[in-house]
Amino acid sequence: MTKHRKNKTASETINPAAAPGSDKVDKPVAPIAPRVKSKKEEGEIKPPSGPVRLWNFFKDAKKELTRVTWPNRKETVKSTGVLLILVAISAAYLGLVDSVLSWVLRLLVG
């Protein structure tokens, strides 16, 4: 009776024919064709000039703005409320730290 192993070695998993003691031989792997460079990579195509680049930027910006999902009024009010609360908490904390540090400095300096 033979036991089946759950964990196979790397050579058995990748190519069972190449397992130790096997008479089968791997076929040679065909070489990978070299990557063909585009005309832009070879430098045959010049990049656009300044005004053309600026125009392309604005066209792309307009296209991106059409993809934005804008929040509705309820989400905007809720986010604004959370922001104002966090700003108030931060201001109170920084004001308290400033008061304590100025009090300590007055005690040290006299």
- 63-82 per-position pLDDT tens digit: 999 999 989 999 999 999 99
Tell me the whole-structure pTM to 2 decimals. Answer: 0.43
- 5-40 per-position pLDDT tens digit: 555 555 555 555 555 555 666 677 777 777 777 766
Average pLDDT of 89-93? 98
- pLDDT beyond 60 at 102: yes
- pLDDT beyond 80 at 95: yes
Q: Where are the domains of the chain?
A: 73-110
Task: Answer for the pair 18, 26: CB distance below 8 angstroms, yes or no.
Answer: yes
Q: Which two tokens stand for residue 24?
A: 């089968």
Q: Looking at per-residue confidence, does 45 or 103 come out higher?
A: 103
**Alpha helical stretches, state H, 1-110:** 10-14, 39-42, 50-67, 73-109
Cα 110 from Cα 98, distance rounded (Å): 18
